[in-house]
Structure formats: structure tokens, C-alpha cells
A = this chain, B = another copy of it.
Amino acid sequence: MVEPGDLAALKAFDGLGVLEIWELLQQKAPGVERWSTRLAEADPERDLERAAAAGARFVIPGDEEWPEQVEILAEAGQLSRRAGVPFGLWVRGPAHLRRVLSRSVALVGARACSSYGEHVAAELSAGLTENGVTVVSGGAYGIDAAAHRGALAVPGPTVAVLACGVDVSYPKRNSALFSRIVEDGLVVSELPPGCSPTRLRFLARNRLIAAGTLGTVVIEAAVRSGALNSAGWAEQCGRAVLAVPGPVTSRMSEGNHLLVRERDATLVTSVAEIIEAISPLGTRLTSYPQAPKTITDDLDHDLRRTLDAVPLIHPAPVARIATTAGLDLSTTQTCLETLADLDLIQPTDTGWRLPPTTPPPNPSPPPHAGTQ
């Protein structure tokens, strides 16, 4: 009877039960006529039969399986075209809606994505699923499909939230994907079975994905993309807004970089960083990426300073190296011999130098050396 996220309807029927609303509509009560238009075709029994035939159930607020977090939509998005808490959710698949969503993230992005985006979506999705985080997406081509496929490649459920009935395969060529999703996971929709998608229904669907998850990760988005609409919803619902960076030469990452620059999205590059972002503050902290240690890392302070003072090209005598290193002559002499034993430096007739084979000598301090 009512389109998803129709705020006027939610207001008109606020606090009323389904049967009372049904009454009102049949009475064409003043103020609600608008929504009576579909009475003629409305057939709840048929909807439930279609659902049953598709192995789907209807979950409503108060049910054990109801994901309460979507009720944030009662406050969020009042300025948007499609907002509000859904009356209920049609759910198809063996998983338990509330439980799988309790630790979940949305992976969203462009349909016309790049192979880079597809690769990243699948990798992150598989990694998140392996770590017990449910990946939720929209079942569209491109990033959505790659995210679902990545999740399906490992044990664990994935959830597709559609803008049409749970028994409708849109887009058609993803019908095989949907069948695989409902083997372990869920296909979810606010719309009754048989409904087909409209633009407004996609906008309404985006709000559900954002509200139902702990955070929304934008994998690839051009500057005009539904993924940015989803990010906006996550922002309004107080969920984490995360963006994966990409090449600045790619239009498909422009929206991601825009989110980081202009909308305080958190830049994320790995499964660990996503999990940190959706976990309670201060828990699950990710450690800095570390480069493999080199032999010079284990040199003591004097050895390191001496090595640093040895020239690359023209050999220097001990005295010169001592001055450069700021060490006395005998210490420097001992250090030079140790370094030579380690083949880190080379004696010559005119003094010491680095072996020609040494990699070019830019300093390689750990990330924070510059400020230490």
C-alpha cells in the first residue's frame, strides 16, 4: 500500500497497528485516501503465499529476528527523500537476520567498477567474512556482486538487500548469485514478493543497508554514485563511513577520495583497519604495517652511527669518519672493523667506503623517525 520510506505515511499511521491501518485505508479516512489507491490490488494472503513459495518470511518489529538497529531510521534522514523505519522486512534464506547483522559491514560501490575495485571488494569481503563480520551489499553488478562473491568463497553468510521483491532477480543475470546467497545467507527486502525496483526504491534500500550495519565501506565510487548516497545514510545513522583509496588516475576512486577529503570518511586499506573502525573505540587496534628487518636494524648505536658516517663514493680515513659520526678514534676504528666483518663496509688504500653493491643510501627510519 505504501512505498518504502514514505515519511508522510509513517506520520499518518504513527502508533497504529497493521489492522487499524487496514481499517483506515478501507474507510478511505480523511488524510489517508492517498494510500488507498492500491486497495483494489492489495492482497496480503497472496503476498504471504508468494513469500512461502519463495521460502521467504516476513519479519516485523518485536519479532525475535528483528534487527532493532534499523530503528535508528526513526531519527535519521528526515531531510531525505526516502526515510523512516520499515513496517517489516521480507527475508529469504536460512540465516538469522538479527544475528548475522549484529556484526556486519556494508560493502558498496559502483556497478561499472574497475577490475581493481572488483579485486579489492572480493578480497576485503572474504577477509571480513572469515573474521566473522557479515558482508551486506545490494546485489547489483560490479562492486556489490564482487563483494557477495568474495563472501561466498569462504564459510559464512552474506546478505543482499534488494530494491525489489526477494523472489525477483534484479538484475536478471545475478539470479544464480542470489540462489547461492540464500544457501547460507539472506536476501532481504522491504518490498513484498513480486515488486519490481524503481529509483526511489533504490534510495530507500540504501538507508536500510546503512542502518542495518556497523559501517559502510565505499570500495569504488565516481563523484556521482549511489555509493555516496549510502555513505550519507551511514553518516546520518551514526555508523562508520569508510573509504578505500585508489589510483588518483581512476575516475572510479574520485568519490572515495572526496569522502575522505570533504566528509571525514576514514581511509581504510585492509580488513584489520575495517574491523578496528567498527569495533568499540580503542579495541582491535591495528598495528603499523612493518617492513622486514634488515641487518643494520640490529646494529648497536655506535656501529649504526659509524656506518652512517661512511661515504658512498670517495673512501674516507678513520679520522674523518670519527668526526662525521661524532665518536672518538679508537671506538670508530673498532666499529669500522666490525662493520667490515659484516661486509657492510669496504676497506680501501685511502680509507673506508660502502661496497658498491649497497642499495642507494636514502635513510630508512621507521615511520616516526622524522619526529623522534
Listed in ascending order, the chain A residues whose CB lies under 8 Å from chain B are: 3, 6, 8, 34-35, 37-38, 79-80, 111, 116, 119-120, 140-141, 164, 168, 170-171, 196-200, 202-203, 206, 222-226, 228-233, 235-236, 244-249, 253-255, 257-258, 260-263, 266-267, 269-270, 273, 288-291, 307-314, 319-320, 322-324, 326, 360-372
Please judge, given known A-B contacts A245-B267, A247-B116, A369-B228, whether A200 and B308 are in contact too, CB under 8 Å: yes
Please judge, given known A-B contacts A196-B313, A311-B197, A312-B170, whether A364 and B247 are in contact too, CB under 8 Å: no
A362 touching B120, Cβ below 8 Å: no
Residues of B close to A261: CB separation below 8 A:
266-267, 269, 273
Nearest residue in B to A244 (C-beta to C-beta)? B248
Please judge, given known A-B contacts A3-B323, A8-B326, whether A309 and B200 are in contact too, CB under 8 Å: yes
Please judge, given known A-B contacts A141-B360, A248-B245, whether A370 and B231 are in contact too, CB under 8 Å: yes
Q: Complex Cα distance A203/B366, Å?
A: 13
Nearest residue in B to A35 (C-beta to C-beta)? B323
Q: Complex Cα distance A245/B198, Å?
A: 36
Residues of B close to A370: CB separation below 8 A:
80, 206, 228-233, 235-236
Neighbour of A322 across the interface among B37, B230, B309, CB < 8 A: B37
A-B pairs with lowest CB-CB distance, top 3: A232-B370, A245-B245, A226-B362
A-B contact pairs, 15 of them (CB 8 A): A8-B326, A34-B326, A35-B323, A199-B307, A202-B361, A206-B370, A223-B291, A224-B364, A225-B362, A232-B372, A236-B370, A244-B248, A245-B248, A246-B247, A246-B248
Q: Complex Cα distance A170/B326, Å?
A: 24
A37 touching B232, Cβ below 8 Å: no
Q: Complex Cα distance A228/B288, Å?
A: 13
A288 touching B223, Cβ below 8 Å: yes
B120 touching A224, Cβ below 8 Å: no
Please judge, given known A-B contacts A370-B230, A371-B79, whether A223 and B289 are in contact too, CB under 8 Å: yes
Query: Chain B nearest CB: distance from A50 CB in Å?
Result: 14
Please judge, given known A-B contacts A35-B323, A323-B37, A370-B229, whether A363 and B199 are in contact too, CB under 8 Å: yes
Residues of B close to A222: CB separation below 8 A:
291
| Extra A-B contacts (15), CB below 8 Å, given A198-B324, A198-B361, A222-B291 | A120-B248, A140-B360, A170-B313, A196-B311, A198-B309, A199-B308, A203-B365, A206-B370, A228-B367, A245-B260, A246-B248, A247-B247, A255-B367, A258-B288, A260-B267
Residues of B close to A38: CB separation below 8 A:
320, 323
Query: Chain B nearest CB: distance from A107 CB in Å?
Result: 14
